[in-house]
Structures are given as C-alpha cells and as structure tokens.
Structure 1
Amino acid sequence: MREEAPVYHNEKYNFYALSRYADCERGLPDWQTFQNSRGNILDIIQSGMEIPPGTLIFEDPPMHDIHRKLLVRVFTPRRIGELEPRVREFCARILDPLVGATSFDLIAALGAEMPMRVIGMLLGIPEADQAGIRDLTDEKLRTESGGRMDLSEGVMIDSGVFADYIDWRRDHPSNDLMTDLLNAEFTDENGLVRTLTRDEVLTYVTVVAGAGNETTGRLVGWIGALLARNPDARRELAADPSLIPNAIEEILRYEPPGPFMARYTATDVEFHGQTIPAGSATMFMLAAANRDPRRYTDPDRFDIHRKIGQLMTFGLGGHYCLGAALARLEGRVALDELLRRFPDWDVDWSGAKLAQTSSVRGWETLPLVVG
C-alpha cells in the first residue's frame, strides 16, 4: 500500500488511508483539514454520533488548546519522573513471586496490571477499584471479528464510575491528579477565570483513565514478543541496561500499540495528485509510516541501536500523546525489572493470542517460558 497506493481508498469500508511518513507528518498537524472533533477512530467518525463536550482527545482548537494546556499543567515531566520508584515497586511486587516459575502469562501478570496501578495511583483511585475500571475500558474498545465498536452507550466508559471518587477528593484533597484538576484555575473560552466544573473533571478523569491503560499494556506485550524473537538483542540488553531506553524507542517504532488513527476530512485535499474529498474519513497508518524506507534504513529490521528520531507512534501536532513520557517510563522500567529477574525467555506461541480491538494492537495472552 505504501509503495503502490500512497493514497489508498477502501470502497467496502469507505475510508482513505495515508501510509507514508511524510504524508502523516504533513497531515496530522493540519487540524483544519483533518479534524479530530468527530473522533479519531473510524467507527466513531462514521457513526456521526455526538461527541460529549470537553472530551480532550476529540476536540480541535481553540477548545482543545484551552483544555490541553490545563492538563499539561498537572501532567508535568516532574510529576511523571517522580513516579519511577513507585512504578518499580509495582513491577517488583508483580514479578518477585514469579521468580522460580518455568512459565507465566506476561499480559496477565504485568501488561494488564502495571499500567492500571500507575494510572490509578496518578488519579488517586483505590487499588481495590482499579481492575474494574480497567476492564470497563478494555470492553469499550473490544470488537468481534469483522465487527465494529458498540457505540450504543457512547464513546467512553460511563464517567459516573468516577463520581464518588471526585466527590470524596473535593472534601479530602491529596497529592494526585484528581485533586489538581479540582483546584486548577484557568481562563475558559469566554475569558472567564475559573476552576473546572464537576462534570468537566469527570470527563478529564475518564479520558486519562481510558488512554493510560490499554496502550501501555500492549507495549509490555510487544516487549516480550519482540525480545523473544530477537534473543541476541535481549541478551545484549540484559548485559547492558543503559541500552534499554533506545530499545523501547525501537519497540515503539517497530510495533506501535496504536497502529493507526483516523480523522474527519473537512475540505478537499490532494496528495500525490489524488484528491481526498471533503466528508471522508482518512486513516493515518502510523505503523506503516514507522517503517517507511524513505525515513528509516532497512526499516523491517529490529535494531535496538537504531537512531530513531521522531516516531509517528504517539501522533504529531496538537494531539501528540500527552502520556508519551509516562508510556516510555513504564516500558523502560518494565523491561529493566523483567530482565533483572528473567534474562532469558521464549514464548509458547501456541498459547499466544492477539487481542481484537477497534484501535490498538497487541497481545491478549503471551505465555513466556523462562528458565
């Protein structure tokens, strides 16, 4: 597709697709042409459904910029950096009991657990309730083979599940994101300096909880799968952990957990002499862009020493993923802690299963054989 049909039209599912790095680099920041306000998943765009107001990931400027600046203020690099000891603690708590085992499912043990604990800690959600919220998020994205998302109850999990936490935090402030959102002052679209309403805080918390669980869990799965398939690289990382940060970048390039994102095309636009008409849904094939030979030499080779630069994995432009630094931190710590305890592993591929979802790609089960 990338070589022979850089502007691809799928008649059956009625969308256009751009798969070259330069085309994604041009199109993703252009929010006037490729709008996010109707959703960033094909099923949502084509449904024509009403997007709830204040849903940051489904907004365009100027509203998006106002809401994003507020979240950036409470989602700071310093706060993310301070999480590392706790992330290591979560990984140790999960992995230590597995030492001495001959096999375990990496997804059930770590991929589904660690991101949920980190986001729960960041938001201030009690550990006892975190698994239930994670499962609601997963269920919303899940699809049947050949089927579409169930949008009968909206695009996100019911924000009401967070209502009690927010009411509690209003009366019992703590050092967490929920408390910061409740107290942060900002200038809204009408020039009024105010704090967020309860409903606005609910929307923010729901967005953060949903975005932070699924994709990072998939990253953990790709760490396990790719380093089983590339044992020399795994042994090199075990011997020299300083190589781990760049290895995470290569894993994110090679197998991005979110391999594509969609946009509503607001005006006619031309790529490669072909017009994508206004009113179309356009898919940006991030995974293909990450392997574009015009951008990367020998792109289908997994190379933990590769000089990578700007990835498409987290998007580009105004909607660049706010959680990119957190995902990198979790991936780096997870790989480091895994290698400390299990420098050698393989995968029982007969028991491995890819998840069926609308927007992310990764392993639902990944049995590691360790020794």
Structure 2
Amino acid sequence: MTDLYWDPIAPELRDDPYPLWRRLRDEAPVYRNDRLGFYALSRFDDIELAHRDAETFSSSHGTTLETMAPDPYDTAMIIWLDAPKHTTLRKLVSRAFTVRRVTMLEERIHEICAQLLDPQVGSGGFDYVQDFAAILPPTVISILLGVPGSEREELRHIVDNVFHMEEGVGMNNETSLAALGELGQRLGAHFADRRTHPRDDVFTDLVNAEVADEVTGEPRRLTDEELASFAILLFSAGSETVARHLGWAASALDEYPDQRAELVRDPGLIPGAIEEILRYEPPSPVNARWTTRDVTLPGGTIPANSRVILITGSAGRDERRYADPDRLDVHRKLDLHMTFGYGVHFCLGAALARREARIGLAETLLRWPQWSVDRARTDMLYTSTVRGPLRLPIRV
C-alpha cells in the first residue's frame, strides 16, 4: 500500500477526493500517515463511534490538523473544549439558536433571498455563490447576532481570509491568523456597546449571561476572550459552511437535472434533498480529534495521544452504510449522516443552516427550474476542513 497516501492539506485532492477515500475505507480504514504523524478514519461506523465517545476522542487539542498541539488548549473556543467546560458554554451558545429566534427568521430569510435573486432574473447568468450563497448566511447570522448591515460585507470577506489556505501549512499562515484576530476584534467591540446599549440580540444575551466559575463555583460573567471566541465561532461557522452547502446544492442538482425537475414539481421533497446533498457533498468533510487512550477498531489500533482525522466526507459515501452512495438520490431515506457531527459536539446551528438551505434552494427553483453550471470557470475553496465551490457561474 505504498502508493496509498492522503493528507487533508494536499491541493490535488480538492476536486474529487472520493476515489481515494474509497480506497482508504477498503484498504486502510485505520490509516496512518507517517509523514505528518496522524491517523485517519474513513468508515461511517468508526467515525460515528469517535463522535459518540468524546471522552476518548478529545477536541481540546484542536480540531484541524495544522492547529493540533500536544497539550490541551487553554481557550474559550467552544469547539476546542471537552466536558465539563464545553457543556457549560454550549448551553450559553444554544441561546443563539432558540426555536423562537430561528422561527422568527423564516420570513426574513425569504426576503433576503428575494433581494439577492430577483435582480438576476433575466440576466442570463450570475455567480451563484458570490452573488447569493456567500451573502445569505452571513446576512442571517448578522441579524441573529446584532451585527449592523454596514459591516456585514466587510466581515464576510474577513471570514474568507480566515479560511485562506497555503500549501504545506494549511490555514496556519499569516493571512488566516491576522484575519482571525481582526474578526475577533471587530466582533468583540459590539459586546462593549451592548453593556450600555442592550438590544434583543445574541450579543446582548451573551454579555448578560452568567456561568459558574471553574474554581470557586460562584456565578460570573463571560470574559472578553470568551465573548470574542463565541462571536468568531458563530459568525464564521454561520457564514462559511452554509455558503459552501448552497453552492454544492446548485452544482449537484445541475448534474442530476431529472431530480431537480422533481423538486420543481414537488417542493415537499426539498427538505429531504437538503439532507441528501449534505451527505453527498458535505461542506466540512474533515475534522480532527486527539485520543486520550489506546483505541482498537476493526481496522487496527490507535495509540493514546495520537492525532486522528475523521473524514466525514468519506463516511457519507460509505457503501457499508448507504446503498449506491456515489449517486445523489433526493428520495433517499436518511436516518443519520455525520455532516453536522454527532453527540456532544453536534452542530448548534444545524437547524438554522437547514432552514437557510431549504429556503434558499426553494427560492432558487421558484425562479429558475433549470440552470447550467459553467464548470470551466468554477473555482473551489479547499482547506483542511472545508471544501466547496468558491465561485460557481451559472447560466439561467
């Protein structure tokens, strides 16, 4: 198996990693990369187990290959935390995605879609990602958080720089790190404003929130670092992955025009189609964990204190779990996929992301029952954790 090589930073894998991931599932389900010093899991059952066992597969050492460190991070970034601190802070972040707040956004999402899509009617074509998919989610998450409209476009491009990729180092580069710092500074400034000018938004909720101090047990307010970390996570995750997912929806349905026609005839199929597209082309197909003990799986043993990559994108194409997995099927009955994670780290924004995707796709199909993607001019965004169209010109 000397010719079997995979790593999440290699640029040649950005276009079609699925044949290689199939080989990993078949030949090396517990894959070892000696060059970069990590293991990789590619089968559905193994990745589901890793998500369920958060005590063994820890997030506290980082969740991307280039950020992982031998010692746990002393951080307020919730995705890099384990219980009990993760549990405490997760309850706070969940306030951003209450049923009331997400439901209230329904009509607003329809309005934003109309504002973005209506000007393209009769245009002959436009960039589905840059002119629509990449604008909708940061607009929605900005409304939820309380970011004013005057800042949204600039912040969206700062997030683009956070996901800047450089060969050999991934997102651990000056552009990405500087953008991360700037995003935290810009968003963090809103918390100072909410202390004196409270509003009905998530920034205000977080400023007023109290948690139990880890040492004394006494109630305390969140620190500036914790507030900035929450804001970075909510804004960047709420912007980037939904943009990629909507891009994948437009791309995949162009490859399956018969199924697109079915969605036009029966919009009731759209929620199921969204789940199938999430399985078929997950916007975040790679995540990482750190083992706290030796783990023995059917494909081999992973020692304690190892970096482990969970290839979610491979899990979604595992023929051991799904019949004919390399085919998009909007009628597929999905009881579970790993695209939003699983267990204690299940994506907090999943309900909002599904709502944005469902409405965005429905509004698109309402205006254009057909479109064609200009594949020659399509550009991909590929990092060690995110993969999807960055520019997707379509003819309508």
TM-score, length-normalised on structure 2? Answer: 0.89
Instruction: Give the Cα–Cα distance (whole angstroms) in 2 for the partners of residues 162 and 49 of structure 1.
Output: 28
1:17 is aligned to 40
Q: In 2, are the aligned partners of 1:140 and 1:157 still within 8 Å (CA)?
A: no
Residue 194 (structure 1) shift: 3.0
Instruction: Give the Cα–Cα distance (whole angstroms) in 2 for the partners of residues 130 and 202 of structure 1.
Output: 17
Instruction: Give the Cα–Cα distance (whole angstroms) in 2 for the partners of residues 238 and 175 of structure 1.
Output: 37
1:7 is aligned to 30
Residue 150 (structure 1) shift: 2.5
Residue 119 (structure 1) shift: 1.0
Q: Structure 2: where are the runs of 5+ without partners?
A: 1-23
Residue 154 (structure 1) shift: 7.8
Q: In 1, are the aligned partners of 2:373 and 2:395 still within 8 Å (CA)?
A: yes
Between 1:150-159 and 1:332-341, the stretch displaced more is: 150-159
Residue 185 (structure 1) shift: 3.1
1:118 is aligned to 140
Between 1:110-119 and 1:179-188, the stretch displaced more is: 179-188
Residue 151 (structure 1) shift: 4.9
- 1:331 and 2:357 matched: yes
RMSD: 1.8
Q: Structure 1: where are the runs of 5+ without partners?
A: none
1:70 is aligned to 92
Instruction: Give the Cα–Cα distance (whole angstroms) in 1 for the partners of residues 382 and 300 of structure 2.
Output: 32
1:61 is aligned to 83
- Local SS of the residue matching 2:27: coil
Residue 357 (structure 1) shift: 2.0
Instruction: Give the Cα–Cα distance (whole angstroms) in 2 for the partners of residues 120 and 134 of structure 1.
Output: 10
Instruction: Give the Cα–Cα distance (whole angstroms) in 1 for the partners of residues 316 and 281 of structure 2.
Output: 9
Q: In 2, are the aligned partners of 1:265 and 1:277 still within 8 Å (CA)?
A: yes
1:232 is aligned to 258
Amino acid at match of 1:98: Q
2:109 is aligned to 87
Q: Given the alignment, which residue of 321, 335, 339 partners 1:313?
A: 339
Q: Given the alignment, which residue of 240, 243, 246 partners 1:220?
A: 246
2:58 is aligned to 35
- Local SS of the residue matching 1:3: helix
Instruction: Give the Cα–Cα distance (whole angstroms) in 1 for the partners of residues 194 and 41 of structure 2.
Output: 44
Q: Given the alignment, which residue of 183, 186, 201 partners 1:176?
A: 201
Between 1:148-157 and 1:16-25, the stretch displaced more is: 148-157
Q: Given the alignment, which residue of 34, 44, 57 partners 2:67?
A: 44
- Local SS of the residue matching 1:325: helix
Amino acid at match of 2:363: E
Q: After TM superposition, which residue ranges in structure 1, 4 or more long, deviate above 6 angstroms?
A: none
2:161 is aligned to 139
- 1:246 and 2:268 matched: no
Q: In 2, are the aligned partners of 1:140 and 1:150 still within 8 Å (CA)?
A: no
- Local SS of the residue matching 2:26: coil
Amino acid at match of 1:90: I
Residue 50 (structure 1) shift: 7.2
Cα distance change of structure 1 residues 136 and 52 upon mapping to structure 2, 3 Å threshold: farther
Instruction: Give the Cα–Cα distance (whole angstroms) in 2 for the partners of residues 66 and 15 of structure 1.
Output: 30
Amino acid at match of 1:32: E
Q: Given the alignment, which residue of 290, 296, 304 partners 1:278?
A: 304
Matches within 5 A, 1:100-115: 100-115=122-137
Residue 353 (structure 1) shift: 1.3
2:190 is aligned to 165
Q: In 1, are the aligned partners of 2:290 and 2:306 still within 8 Å (CA)?
A: yes
Q: Given the alignment, which residue of 285, 289, 296 partners 2:315?
A: 289
Aligned pairs, number: 369
Q: In 2, are the aligned partners of 1:157 and 1:206 still within 8 Å (CA)?
A: no
The superposition leaves residues 207-260 of structure 1 with CA deviations (integer Å, 9 ceiling, x where unpaired) of 211211110100010011001000011111111111100000000010000001
Instruction: Give the Cα–Cα distance (whole angstroms) in 1 for the partners of residues 28 and 179 of structure 2.
Output: 31
Q: Given the alignment, which residue of 291, 299, 311 partners 2:325?
A: 299
Amino acid at match of 1:144: E
Cα distance change of structure 1 residues 129 and 50 upon mapping to structure 2, 3 Å threshold: farther
- Local SS of the residue matching 1:194: strand
